[in-house]
Amino acid sequence: MSKDKIVVGAIAGSFGVKGEVRLKSFCATPEDIALYSPLTGDNGVEYTLKITRQVKNGFAARLSGIRFKDEADALRGVKLSADRDLLPSLPDDEYYHADLMGLDVLDTGGEVIGKVAAVLNHGAGDILELRGPSLKGSVLLPFTLDAVPTVDLAAKRIIIDPPEGLLD
C-alpha cells in the first residue's frame, strides 16, 4: 500500500440479497469511514461508499458498481483505503500503521535490531512485528510508551526498550 493511502476499513462479505456489503471500519469514529469516500480497494477498484445502517460488528453499506449478492460476496476480505489528505491529522503520540511499516528499529544503545515488518492489533492494543538478521524469526513487541519510547518518522526509525529477554 502506498504512503498516500491509508487502510480505513475492510469488507466482511455480503449483507442481505440486494448487493449490500458488511463493512468493518478501522476509523476512531467508525461511521467517519463514509466521509472519506471514494475508497480504493486493494483489488485496485475505486468505490463510492454509502452506509445504509449499523449492524452487529460494523455497517451495512452500498458500494458503487455492486448490485448483486454474489458481487458483494466476491469482495470479502478486500481492504479499503482513503487518500491520506482526507484523513484528520493525528496528535503527536499517534501514528497511522502505514507510517510505521519499514521503519528501522534500534535499541536504546543505538544497535540496529531490524525493521518493522507489520503492525498487528488483535483487540488489546497495537503490536509491532520486528524482523532482522540478528533476530530468530519474528519478534512481537507491544507498541507501548515503555517498550517504544521514541518514534522518529523524519529519521525513519524507532527506538525500543524491549522487556528483558524478548530479543534473546
Half-sphere exposure of 27 (CA within 13 A, CB side): 23
Residue 1 has a pLDDT of 46
Domains of the chain are 5-86 (2.40.30.60), 97-160 (2.30.30.240)
- The residues of the chain scoring below 70 in pLDDT are 1-3
Cell 510508551 belongs to 145
Distance CA 166, CA 56 (A): 38
Give the sign of the dihedral formed by CA 167, CA 102, CA 36, CA 76: negative
Q: Is the pTM of this model over 0.85?
A: no
Distance CA 105, CA 163 (A): 15
Residue 22 has a pLDDT of 96
Residue 2 has a pLDDT of 52
Cell 519474528 belongs to 138
Residue 81 has a pLDDT of 95
